[in-house]
Structure 1
Amino acid sequence: MNGSSELVGRVREALREVIDPEIGFNIVDIGLVYDIALEEGGIVKVTMTTTTRGCPATDFLKDGAGEAAHNVEGVQSADIRLTYDPPWTPDMMSSAAKQYLGIR
Protein backbone atom coordinates (compact mmCIF):
# COMPACT_ATOMS: atom_id res chain seq x y z
CA MET A 1 0.00 0.00 0.00
CA ASN A 2 1.51 3.34 -0.90
CA GLY A 3 1.49 6.28 1.50
CA SER A 4 -1.62 7.95 0.11
CA SER A 5 -3.72 4.78 0.04
CA GLU A 6 -2.53 3.98 3.57
CA LEU A 7 -3.66 7.43 4.74
CA VAL A 8 -7.02 7.03 3.00
CA GLY A 9 -7.40 3.67 4.77
CA ARG A 10 -6.64 5.26 8.14
CA VAL A 11 -9.20 8.01 7.43
CA ARG A 12 -11.78 5.34 6.51
CA GLU A 13 -11.10 3.58 9.82
CA ALA A 14 -11.41 6.87 11.72
CA LEU A 15 -14.76 7.54 10.02
CA ARG A 16 -15.99 4.22 11.43
CA GLU A 17 -15.95 5.97 14.82
CA VAL A 18 -18.73 8.31 13.64
CA ILE A 19 -22.04 6.71 14.57
CA ASP A 20 -25.29 7.73 12.91
CA PRO A 21 -27.47 8.58 15.94
CA GLU A 22 -30.67 7.39 14.29
CA ILE A 23 -29.37 4.07 12.98
CA GLY A 24 -26.82 3.38 15.71
CA PHE A 25 -24.08 2.15 13.37
CA ASN A 26 -21.02 3.77 11.80
CA ILE A 27 -21.28 5.95 8.69
CA VAL A 28 -18.85 3.86 6.64
CA ASP A 29 -20.66 0.56 7.02
CA ILE A 30 -24.12 2.01 6.53
CA GLY A 31 -22.87 3.36 3.21
CA LEU A 32 -22.92 7.11 3.84
CA VAL A 33 -19.26 7.62 2.82
CA TYR A 34 -19.02 7.62 -0.97
CA ASP A 35 -15.41 8.68 -1.49
CA ILE A 36 -12.23 9.62 0.36
CA ALA A 37 -9.61 11.44 -1.70
CA LEU A 38 -6.22 12.73 -0.65
CA GLU A 39 -4.87 15.90 -2.21
CA GLU A 40 -1.48 17.55 -1.92
CA GLY A 41 -0.58 19.01 1.42
CA GLY A 42 -2.49 16.45 3.47
CA ILE A 43 -5.93 17.68 2.44
CA VAL A 44 -8.57 14.95 2.64
CA LYS A 45 -11.84 15.32 0.76
CA VAL A 46 -14.68 13.14 1.98
CA THR A 47 -17.80 12.87 -0.15
CA MET A 48 -20.73 11.59 1.86
CA THR A 49 -24.49 11.59 2.07
CA THR A 50 -27.25 11.13 4.61
CA THR A 51 -30.04 8.59 4.54
CA THR A 52 -32.52 11.28 3.51
CA ARG A 53 -32.47 14.91 2.42
CA GLY A 54 -33.17 17.11 5.41
CA CYS A 55 -31.88 14.47 7.82
CA PRO A 56 -31.88 16.06 11.29
CA ALA A 57 -28.44 14.54 11.95
CA THR A 58 -26.77 16.10 8.86
CA ASP A 59 -24.68 18.67 10.74
CA PHE A 60 -23.77 16.15 13.44
CA LEU A 61 -22.59 13.65 10.83
CA LYS A 62 -20.64 16.20 8.76
CA ASP A 63 -18.98 17.67 11.86
CA GLY A 64 -18.17 14.21 13.20
CA ALA A 65 -16.69 13.11 9.87
CA GLY A 66 -14.61 16.28 9.64
CA GLU A 67 -13.28 15.91 13.16
CA ALA A 68 -12.53 12.20 12.74
CA ALA A 69 -10.69 12.74 9.45
CA HIS A 70 -8.78 15.76 10.72
CA ASN A 71 -7.55 13.82 13.77
CA VAL A 72 -5.76 11.23 11.61
CA GLU A 73 -2.00 11.71 11.64
CA GLY A 74 -0.88 13.14 8.30
CA VAL A 75 -4.15 14.96 7.59
CA GLN A 76 -3.74 18.72 7.57
CA SER A 77 -7.35 19.56 6.80
CA ALA A 78 -10.58 17.76 5.97
CA ASP A 79 -13.14 18.95 3.46
CA ILE A 80 -16.49 17.21 3.92
CA ARG A 81 -18.81 17.42 0.94
CA LEU A 82 -22.43 16.38 1.06
CA THR A 83 -24.15 14.91 -1.99
CA TYR A 84 -27.41 13.15 -2.75
CA ASP A 85 -26.26 11.75 -6.08
CA PRO A 86 -26.69 8.86 -5.99
CA PRO A 87 -29.39 8.80 -3.33
CA TRP A 88 -28.62 6.50 -0.41
CA THR A 89 -30.41 3.15 -0.24
CA PRO A 90 -30.15 0.29 2.28
CA ASP A 91 -28.39 -1.73 -0.46
CA MET A 92 -25.31 0.46 0.20
CA MET A 93 -24.86 -0.99 3.69
CA SER A 94 -22.16 -3.53 4.44
CA SER A 95 -23.20 -7.03 5.40
CA ALA A 96 -22.17 -6.25 9.00
CA ALA A 97 -24.52 -3.24 9.12
CA LYS A 98 -27.36 -5.22 7.56
CA GLN A 99 -26.86 -8.01 10.08
CA TYR A 100 -26.77 -5.49 12.97
CA LEU A 101 -30.06 -4.01 11.77
CA GLY A 102 -31.67 -7.35 10.94
CA ILE A 103 -31.87 -6.64 7.19
CA ARG A 104 -31.38 -9.46 4.71
Structure 2
Amino acid sequence: MEVTLRDQIEDTLRTVYDPEIPVNIMELGLVYKIDIKDNNAVQITMTLTAPACPVAGDIVLEVETKVKAVEGVSDVHVHITFDPQWTREMMSEEAKLELGWL
Protein backbone atom coordinates (compact mmCIF):
# COMPACT_ATOMS: atom_id res chain seq x y z
CA MET A 1 0.00 0.00 0.00
CA GLU A 2 1.36 3.40 -0.98
CA VAL A 3 1.89 5.95 1.75
CA THR A 4 0.39 9.24 0.62
CA LEU A 5 1.66 12.71 1.41
CA ARG A 6 -1.40 13.16 3.65
CA ASP A 7 -0.49 9.98 5.57
CA GLN A 8 3.06 11.27 6.07
CA ILE A 9 1.79 14.64 7.30
CA GLU A 10 -0.68 12.99 9.71
CA ASP A 11 2.08 10.70 11.02
CA THR A 12 4.32 13.73 11.51
CA LEU A 13 1.58 15.60 13.39
CA ARG A 14 1.32 12.61 15.73
CA THR A 15 4.85 13.51 16.93
CA VAL A 16 3.70 16.96 18.15
CA TYR A 17 2.51 16.90 21.74
CA ASP A 18 0.59 19.43 23.77
CA PRO A 19 2.97 20.19 26.64
CA GLU A 20 0.13 20.45 29.17
CA ILE A 21 -1.60 17.19 28.18
CA PRO A 22 0.85 14.39 27.25
CA VAL A 23 -1.06 13.37 24.12
CA ASN A 24 -0.29 14.22 20.48
CA ILE A 25 -2.31 16.93 18.73
CA MET A 26 -4.00 14.48 16.35
CA GLU A 27 -5.35 12.28 19.16
CA LEU A 28 -6.37 15.39 21.10
CA GLY A 29 -8.50 16.46 18.14
CA LEU A 30 -6.68 19.77 17.76
CA VAL A 31 -6.16 19.39 14.00
CA TYR A 32 -9.37 20.31 12.20
CA LYS A 33 -8.24 20.27 8.57
CA ILE A 34 -5.22 19.46 6.42
CA ASP A 35 -5.45 20.98 2.95
CA ILE A 36 -2.81 20.03 0.37
CA LYS A 37 -2.69 22.33 -2.66
CA ASP A 38 -1.58 21.30 -6.18
CA ASN A 39 1.97 22.54 -5.53
CA ASN A 40 2.13 20.51 -2.25
CA ALA A 41 1.77 23.63 -0.13
CA VAL A 42 0.02 22.53 3.06
CA GLN A 43 -2.51 24.53 5.05
CA ILE A 44 -3.33 23.19 8.49
CA THR A 45 -6.32 24.50 10.39
CA MET A 46 -6.08 23.68 14.06
CA THR A 47 -7.00 24.86 17.50
CA LEU A 48 -5.48 24.87 20.96
CA THR A 49 -6.83 23.46 24.21
CA ALA A 50 -7.37 27.02 25.49
CA PRO A 51 -7.40 30.46 23.80
CA ALA A 52 -4.78 31.76 26.24
CA CYS A 53 -2.49 28.75 25.75
CA PRO A 54 0.95 29.94 26.91
CA VAL A 55 2.78 27.65 24.47
CA ALA A 56 0.69 28.44 21.38
CA GLY A 57 3.65 29.87 19.47
CA ASP A 58 5.80 26.86 20.30
CA ILE A 59 3.19 24.38 19.08
CA VAL A 60 2.60 26.29 15.82
CA LEU A 61 6.36 26.54 15.19
CA GLU A 62 6.82 22.82 15.86
CA VAL A 63 3.95 21.93 13.49
CA GLU A 64 5.36 24.19 10.75
CA THR A 65 8.93 22.93 11.16
CA LYS A 66 8.06 19.24 11.26
CA VAL A 67 5.57 19.32 8.38
CA LYS A 68 7.97 21.40 6.23
CA ALA A 69 10.54 18.63 6.73
CA VAL A 70 8.23 16.02 5.16
CA GLU A 71 9.62 15.12 1.75
CA GLY A 72 7.52 16.68 -1.01
CA VAL A 73 5.98 19.48 1.08
CA SER A 74 6.72 22.84 -0.55
CA ASP A 75 5.34 25.19 2.12
CA VAL A 76 3.31 25.12 5.33
CA HIS A 77 0.83 27.59 6.76
CA VAL A 78 -0.84 26.97 10.12
CA HIS A 79 -4.12 28.73 10.82
CA ILE A 80 -5.30 28.79 14.45
CA THR A 81 -9.05 28.97 15.02
CA PHE A 82 -11.28 28.71 18.04
CA ASP A 83 -14.41 27.96 16.03
CA PRO A 84 -15.42 25.44 17.13
CA GLN A 85 -13.79 25.73 20.51
CA TRP A 86 -11.94 22.57 21.59
CA THR A 87 -13.59 20.28 24.13
CA ARG A 88 -12.55 16.93 25.62
CA GLU A 89 -15.20 15.26 23.44
CA MET A 90 -12.98 15.97 20.40
CA MET A 91 -10.31 13.61 21.72
CA SER A 92 -9.98 10.09 20.36
CA GLU A 93 -11.19 7.25 22.56
CA GLU A 94 -7.57 6.11 22.84
CA ALA A 95 -6.48 9.51 24.20
CA LYS A 96 -9.35 9.57 26.69
CA LEU A 97 -8.41 6.09 27.91
CA GLU A 98 -4.73 7.04 28.16
CA LEU A 99 -5.60 10.02 30.36
CA GLY A 100 -8.20 8.13 32.38
CA TRP A 101 -11.00 10.41 31.18
CA LEU A 102 -13.44 7.62 30.30
Tell me the TM-score normalized by structure 2: 0.94
Aligned CA RMSD, in angstroms, stands at 1.5
Q: Tell me how far apart the structure 2 counterparts of residues 2 and 44 of structure 1 sit (CA, whole Å).
A: 20
Aligned mates of 1:24, 1:16 — CA distance in 2: 12
Deviation at 1:68? 1.5
For residue 28 of structure 1, the aligned residue among 22, 26, 31 is 26
The one-letter code matched in structure 1 to 2:20 is E
Runs of 4+ in 1 over 4 A off after TM superposition: none
Q: What are the residue-to-residue correspondences of 1:14-93 with 2, within 5 Å?
A: 14-93=12-91
- For 1:67 and 1:26, how far apart are their aligned partners in 2? 16
Call closer, same or farther: CA 1:79–1:28 in 2, change over 3 Å: same
Per-residue deviation, residues 40-75 of structure 1 (Å, max 9, x unmatched): 211000000001101011111111111121111110
